[in-house]
Structure 1
């Protein structure tokens, strides 16, 4: 049981969090940027116009990529469970 094992597990966990969150957040950020450019070009200063497209894209990203997200999380969980003897022993 060396500290390197825990550092590797933490590294893998942080990478998994970044991967799963970015799959949902990046499309929303892109749509938000497009709507913001449109608002700046047309001088529309309404804050609620930006909310609905970002909400819809986030929901679409969750529905289309949900299966992949769950598979990645399950694979990571199985990997962590398989590494229990390495941590304990």
Structure 2
């Protein structure tokens, strides 16, 4: 296994991680921003006002996008395990 191969596997792993975490992180960012603007406009500083809606919406996004995330991860792992014979020999 060459250093280039190791770098390629690492790059693919980072790419998969970003693609899988992206929808949840982006949703949390958008919801947090919307709630922060609402809190600034109404001067309500309640911690649960941030936590509960974010938790509910992230759960909903996970239900919607979860099957795609799982399938993408399974495809990556199958490709990685399938390439083991070529990487060793």
TM-score range normalised by the length of the shorter chain: over 0.9
Unaligned runs of 5+ in 1: none
What CA distance in whole angstroms lies between the structure 1 residues aligned with 2:72 and 2:55?
23
TM-score normalised by length of structure 2? 0.94
Q: How does 1:67-78 map to 2 (within 5 A)?
A: 67-78=67-78
SS in 2 for 1:44: coil
Length, aligned pairs only: 89
Q: RMSD across aligned C-alpha pairs, in angstroms?
A: 0.9
Q: Kindly state the Cα deviation for residue 8 of structure 1 after the two structures are TM-superposed.
A: 0.5
Structure 2: tracts of 5 or more residues without a match: none
Query: Which runs of 4 or more aligned residues in structure 1 lie more than 3 Å from their structure 2 counterparts after TM superposition?
Result: none
TM-score by length of 1: 0.94
Higher relative contact order (CA 8 A, sep 6+): 1
Cα distance in structure 2, aligned partners of 1:57 and 1:6: 37
Q: Deviations over 1:7-34 (max 9, x none)?
A: 1011000111111111112112101100
Partner in structure 1 of residue 16 of structure 2: 16
* Equivalent-residue separation in structure 1 for 2:45 and 2:24 (angstroms): 26
Task: Specify the alignment match of 1:50 in structure 2.
Answer: 50
